[in-house]
């Protein structure tokens, strides 16, 4: 059974959120609509809802993260959940405890959700297959495989500015090969019916047969950026690269970095996006990152509402453990 089907119950409801692949437009629209209804919570004097009161969410991060980890923490707290963030660098895993032993010990603390980030592809699915039935698992990024909540906050950000996906041309630029963000975003855009998805980058940073994901390939940024509605720049994943895939960061910027001159090839109302963290002067010029077309900080804000939506939907679909009263 694949992760696609494993994350759904027999009625097609989300029990876990592990990957975008195989989900329907209804699944994605439900998340986006729920996130829209939660977006205004941050504007309230009291930024809390009782949705997950009495629930315990565990952030299980085996890989360094600031933006994703903190937005998941805020999302859970704004839904009134108790939050535990496990620092793997100082945990028993470093002392030789197996992943399953770590899970069993955390389960014994009567938790309800694991938010998992791991350097190995498939780790979130592995955990979801071994937790107790009432526990929901959210994938916060696994290896090169998937980063589904990032994809959802990206399409949420796009939809707030450009709601008709069928008319959109979206260019994803940079290190596609190592990017779990790119894979998940391409799947999400295709499910939502985007007009055209382009991937732009050097041959060494594009996966083989990337066209099979549903994207057009461009090696020349002058062609790939022409008349697009959205530009998504990707971070160079140097920690995942093996061998010399790039001559230098400076050369990458000269060839593919998003400058004001390159941005002028796109439509006048183009959106500039980046999942972060930004490498200024490598993937994007500061004048563009901080310019009027940039929605990069808006992506961070929107990530809280989207993750609140996914938490509330998945936990809402789980049956209560035997003996638990509402």
How would you write 252-275 as a 3-class SS string? HHHHHCECHHHHCCCCCCCEEECC
Same domain, 152 and 295: yes
Rounded to whole angstroms, how far apart are CA atoms 198 and 114?
Answer: 34
Asked if 99 contacts 53 with a C-beta cutoff of 8 angstroms, the reply is no
CA distance 187 to 172: 13
Structure tokens belonging to residue 167 = 């008319």
Task: Report d(CA 239, CA 305) in Å as an integer.
Answer: 29
Residue 245 — very low, low, confident or very high, per pLDDT cuts 50/70/90?
A: low
E runs forming strands in the chain: 56-61, 82-87, 113-118, 136-142, 169-173, 196-200, 216-218, 230-233, 271-273
Give the per-residue pLDDT at 322. Answer: 46
Residue 237: is its pLDDT beyond 70?
no
Task: Tell me if 65 sits within 8 A of 40, measured CB to CB.
Answer: no
Total structural domains within the chain: 2
pLDDT score at 63: 81
Residue positions counted in the chain: 326
Q: Token digits for 57?
A: 């969410």
Cβ-based neighbours of 135, under 8 Å, separated by 6 or more: 107, 111, 112, 113, 114, 318
pLDDT of residue 298: 97
In a domain, 202, yes or no: yes
CB 53 within 8 A of CB 112: no
Does 288 reside within a domain?
Answer: yes
Same domain, 132 and 171: no
Whether 188 maps to a domain, the answer reads yes
Digit-coded pLDDT (tens) for 127-150? 999 999 999 999 999 988 899 999
Separation in Å, CA 173 to CA 233, 258, 273, 311: 5, 9, 10, 30
The answer to whether residue 322 sits within a structural domain is no
**Cβ neighbour number for residue 104 with a 10 Å cutoff:** 14
List the CATH number of the domain containing 195: 3.40.50.1370
pLDDT value, residue 1: 44
Residues 106, 164 within the same domain: no
User: Do 229 and 263 sit in the same domain of this protein?
Assistant: yes
**Which residue is associated with the tokens 């941050």?**
42
Domain that holds residue 270: 148-299
Lay out the sheet containing 169-173: strands in order across: 216-218, 196-200, 169-173, 230-233, 271-273
Whether residues 35 and 152 share a domain: the answer is: no
* Residue 209: per-residue pLDDT: 85
Residue 116 corresponds to which tokens in the numbers above? 């998992």
- For 173-210, write each residue's pLDDT tens digit: 999 998 999 999 999 999 999 999 999 999 989 988 88
> Which among 76-80, 95-99, 125-129, 132-136 has the top mean pLDDT?
76-80
Residue 321 lies in a domain: no
> Is 323 within the bounds of a domain?
no
Provide the pLDDT for residue 300. Answer: 95
pLDDT score at 13? 94
**Cα 144 to Cα 121: distance, rounded to the nearest angstrom:** 6
Q: Do 74 and 105 fall within a single domain?
A: yes
Residue 38's pLDDT band, with cuts at 50, 70 and 90, is: very high
Do 111 and 209 share a domain, yes or no?
no
How far is it, in rounded angstroms, from Cα 131 to Cα 137?
9
User: Do 161 and 293 have their domain in common?
Assistant: yes
Q: When comparing pLDDT for 198 and 93, which is higher?
A: 198
Q: Is the pLDDT of residue 99 over 80?
A: no
Average of per-residue pLDDT values in the chain: 89
Q: Looking at the domain assignment, is residue 290 inside a domain?
A: yes
Give the pair of three-digit tokens for residue 91. 């945990």
In a domain, residue 65? The reply is yes
DSSP 16: -
CA angle, 313 as apex, 39 and 118 as ends, to 5°?
90
On whether both 66 and 202 belong to a single domain, the answer is: no
Shared domain check, 208 and 286: yes
């Amino acid at each position: 059974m694949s992760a696609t089907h494993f994350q759904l119950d027999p009625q097609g409801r989300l029990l876990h959120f592990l990957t975008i692949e195989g989900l329907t437009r209804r699944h994605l629209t439900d998340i986006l609509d729920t996130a829209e209804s939660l977006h205004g919570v941050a504007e309230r004097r009291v930024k809390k809802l009782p949705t997950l009161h009495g629930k315990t969410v565990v952030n299980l991060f085996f890989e360094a993260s600031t933006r994703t980890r903190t937005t998941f923490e805020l999302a859970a707290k704004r839904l009134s959940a108790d939050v535990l963030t496990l620092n793997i660098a100082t945990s028993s895993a470093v002392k030789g405890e197996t992943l399953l032993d770590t899970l069993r010990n955390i389960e014994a603390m009567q938790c309800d959700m694991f938010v998992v980030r791991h350097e190995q592809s498939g780790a979130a699915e592995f955990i979801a297959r071994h937790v107790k039935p009432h526990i929901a698992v959210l994938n916060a990024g696994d290896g090169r495989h998937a980063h589904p909540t990032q994809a959802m906050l990206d399409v949420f950000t796009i939809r707030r500015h450009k709601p008709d996906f069928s008319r959109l041309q979206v260019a994803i630029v940079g290190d596609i090969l190592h990017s779990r963000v790119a894979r998940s975003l391409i799947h999400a855009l295709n499910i939502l019916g985007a007009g055209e998805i382009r991937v732009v980058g050097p041959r060494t940073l594009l996966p083989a047969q990337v066209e099979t994901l549903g994207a057009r390939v461009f090696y020349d940024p002058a062609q790939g950026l022409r008349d697009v509605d959205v530009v998504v720049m990707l971070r160079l994943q140097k920690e995942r690269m093996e061998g010399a895939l790039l001559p230098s960061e400076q050369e990458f910027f000269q060839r593919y970095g998003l400058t004001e001159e390159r941005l002028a090839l796109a439509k006048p109302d183009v959106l500039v996006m980046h999942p972060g963290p930004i490498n200024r002067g490598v993937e994007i010029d500061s004048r563009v990152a901080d310019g009027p077309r940039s929605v990069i900080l808006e992506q961070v804000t929107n990530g809280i509402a989207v993750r609140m939506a996914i938490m509330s939907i998945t936990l809402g679909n789980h049956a209560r453990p035997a003996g638990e009263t509402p």
